[in-house]
Structure 1
């Protein structure tokens, strides 16, 4: 995206948003094709819950210190995944809803969604 021809409303290392384009990870979506943008907060995945269960079993049922440490690591991973969930940006096209970008940075995702919504409103 040429910044001289098109002023940017938002820019970071992976995302650029102008009044007409939303560029992320070398993909471009035209703002005129979008009807809405929202954020979804992901819940822990089934594998996260398995890590928690296995970690608890290791801590409670095993005697070896190494196994208990592995249990602590697995439980710590679960706690981290709950404390820092993944947020996705979901956009609506005329007849399609698609998750197009994800990050653990809630503030960044919120800024991107707000900027996309602003660009959509400027194009309508």
Structure 2
């Protein structure tokens, strides 16, 4: 990476794509469950609450494509597939663990704030109800 004025140059577009992938609704949850060790597809499906089979497939393919997860086909009867974090996937888990911990710790506060906000019925960005012309 080159530098300009002592600051690293970043390819913002490519970084945005990767951040979008790891910050999507499911990827970090899948990575979190894979930190516990290799998992079969069905184990992940049961562990990640609310994910559809199709979305889990799409998520795992994206994580595999980006080098964060490996997929291993076991040629047994019946055949099965396991997924595991790569070394780079483990560093993603380590980097996001504080965010995951923060999320779990603050869920009650977020729920309360949302309920209070929804009860006010205040949906305009400035806090006032727009007038009709």
Q: Same fold (TM over 0.5)?
A: no
- Which of the pair has the greater relative contact order for Cα pairs under 8 Å at 6+ separation? 1
More helix by share: 2
Q: Give the TM-score normalised by the residue count of structure 2.
A: 0.26
TM (norm. structure 1) is 0.27
